[in-house]
Copies of this chain bind each other. A is one copy, B any other.
Amino acid sequence: MFQTERRFLRLLFLLCILHYEAGQVFGVWPMPQQITQSTDRYLLSPQSFSFSYSKDSAAQSGCSVLDSAFKRYYSLIFPDAADGARFSNIWMDPTPFTVSVSVKSGECDGYPDEGSDESYNLSVAAGAAALKAQSVWGALRGLESFSQLVYQDKYNMYFVNKTEIQDFPRFEFRGLLLDTSRHYLPLNAILKTLDAMAYSKFNVFHWHIVDDPSFPYQSYSYPDLSSKGAFHPMTHIYTQSDVKRVISHARMRGIRVIPEFDTPGHTQSWGKGQPNLLTPCYKGDVPSGTFGPVNPILDSTYQFMSGLFKEMKSVFPDSYVHLGGDEVNFACWKSNPNVRAFMTKMGFGHDYTKLESYYIENIVNISSALNKTPIVWQDVFDYRERIPKDTVLEIWKGVPADYRTELAKITHAGYRVLLSAPWYINHISYGQDWRNSYTVQPQNFSGTDQQKALVIGGEVCMWGEYVDATNLHPRLWPRACAAAERLWSNEEMTSNVDQAFPRLEKFRCSLIRRGIQAEPLFVGYCKDEYRGV
CA distance A33 to B504 in the complex (A): 50
Chain A 174-194 interface 0/1 with B at a Cβ cutoff of 8 Å (1 = within): 000000001110101100100
Contact between A468 and B427 (Cβ–Cβ < 8 Å)?
no
CA distance A348 to B430 in the complex (A): 40
Interface centre among A235, A512, A529, A533, by most chain B C-beta atoms within 10 angstroms, is A533
CA distance A430 to B393 in the complex (A): 27
Nearest-Cβ distance from residue A241 to partner chain B, whole angstroms: 18
| Residues of chain B contacted by A236 (CB below 8 angstroms) | 525, 529
Contact between B520 and A470 (Cβ–Cβ < 8 Å)?
yes
Chain A 373-403 interface 0/1 with B at a Cβ cutoff of 8 Å (1 = within): 0000000000000000000000000000000
Contact between B469 and A431 (Cβ–Cβ < 8 Å)?
no
CA distance A518 to B235 in the complex (A): 19
Nearest-Cβ distance from residue A445 to partner chain B, whole angstroms: 26
Stretch at the interface among A74-82, A139-147, A459-467: A459-467
Interface size on A, residues (CB 8 A): 46
Nearest-Cβ distance from residue A212 to partner chain B, whole angstroms: 8
Contact between B474 and A471 (Cβ–Cβ < 8 Å)?
yes
Residue of B nearest to A188 (CB): B533
| Residues of chain B contacted by A232 (CB below 8 angstroms) | 525, 527
| Contact of A522 with B by CB under 8 A | yes
CA distance A464 to B85 in the complex (A): 37
CA distance A533 to B213 in the complex (A): 22
| Contact of A67 with B by CB under 8 A | no
CA distance A278 to B431 in the complex (A): 29
Assess A186 versus B533: contact at CB under 8 Å? Given A470-B520, A519-B471, A522-B466.
yes
CA distance A521 to B182 in the complex (A): 11
Nearest-Cβ distance from residue A143 to partner chain B, whole angstroms: 25
CA distance A182 to B521 in the complex (A): 11
| Residues of chain B contacted by A428 (CB below 8 angstroms) | 428-430
| Residues of chain B contacted by A121 (CB below 8 angstroms) | none
| Residues of chain B contacted by A231 (CB below 8 angstroms) | 524-525
| Residues of chain B contacted by A347 (CB below 8 angstroms) | none
Assess A517 versus B466: contact at CB under 8 Å? Given A183-B523, A523-B183.
no
Nearest-Cβ distance from residue A191 to partner chain B, whole angstroms: 9
Nearest-Cβ distance from residue A168 to partner chain B, whole angstroms: 32
Please pick, from B182, B469, B523, B533, the residue contacting A530 in the complex, using a CB distance under 8 A.
Answer: B469
| Residues of chain B contacted by A289 (CB below 8 angstroms) | none
CA distance A152 to B114 in the complex (A): 50
Please pick, from B466, B517, B523, the residue contacting A213 in the complex, using a CB distance under 8 A.
Answer: B523
CA distance A431 to B428 in the complex (A): 9
CA distance A430 to B213 in the complex (A): 20
CA distance A523 to B213 in the complex (A): 7
Interface of A, secondary structure class, is loop
| Contact of A284 with B by CB under 8 A | no
Interface centre among A186, A431, A474, A531, by most chain B C-beta atoms within 10 angstroms, is A474
Nearest-Cβ distance from residue A217 to partner chain B, whole angstroms: 16
Contact between B469 and A529 (Cβ–Cβ < 8 Å)?
yes
Assess A470 versus B530: contact at CB under 8 Å? Given A428-B428, A428-B430, A430-B427.
yes
Contact between B529 and A184 (Cβ–Cβ < 8 Å)?
yes
Contact between A530 and B466 (Cβ–Cβ < 8 Å)?
no
A396-430 interface with B by 8 A CB criterion: 426-430
Contact between B470 and A474 (Cβ–Cβ < 8 Å)?
yes
Assess A519 versus B466: contact at CB under 8 Å? Given A474-B474, A524-B213, A529-B184.
yes
| Contact of A532 with B by CB under 8 A | yes
| Residues of chain B contacted by A183 (CB below 8 angstroms) | 520, 523-525
Please pick, from B430, B474, B523, the residue contacting A464 in the complex, using a CB distance under 8 A.
Answer: B523
CA distance A192 to B469 in the complex (A): 18
Contact between A533 and B189 (Cβ–Cβ < 8 Å)?
yes
Please pick, from B468, B471, B533, the residue contacting A529 in the complex, using a CB distance under 8 A.
Answer: B468
Interface centre among A184, A430, A519, by most chain B C-beta atoms within 10 angstroms, is A519
| Residues of chain B contacted by A235 (CB below 8 angstroms) | 529
| Residues of chain B contacted by A521 (CB below 8 angstroms) | 466
CA distance A186 to B532 in the complex (A): 10
| Residues of chain B contacted by A188 (CB below 8 angstroms) | 533
Nearest-Cβ distance from residue A252 to partner chain B, whole angstroms: 19
Residue of B nearest to A474 (CB): B471
Contact between A466 and B431 (Cβ–Cβ < 8 Å)?
yes
Interface centre among A426, A517, A529, A532, by most chain B C-beta atoms within 10 angstroms, is A529
Contact between B519 and A470 (Cβ–Cβ < 8 Å)?
yes
Please pick, from B184, B192, B520, B525, the residue contacting A466 in the complex, using a CB distance under 8 A.
Answer: B520
Other than A231-B524, A236-B529, give 8 A-B pairs with Cβ distance below 8 A: A183-B523, A184-B525, A236-B525, A427-B430, A466-B520, A466-B522, A467-B519, A532-B532
15 contacts between A and B (CB under 8 A): A183-B524, A184-B529, A186-B531, A186-B533, A192-B533, A214-B525, A231-B524, A231-B525, A236-B525, A428-B430, A468-B530, A469-B533, A470-B512, A470-B517, A471-B519
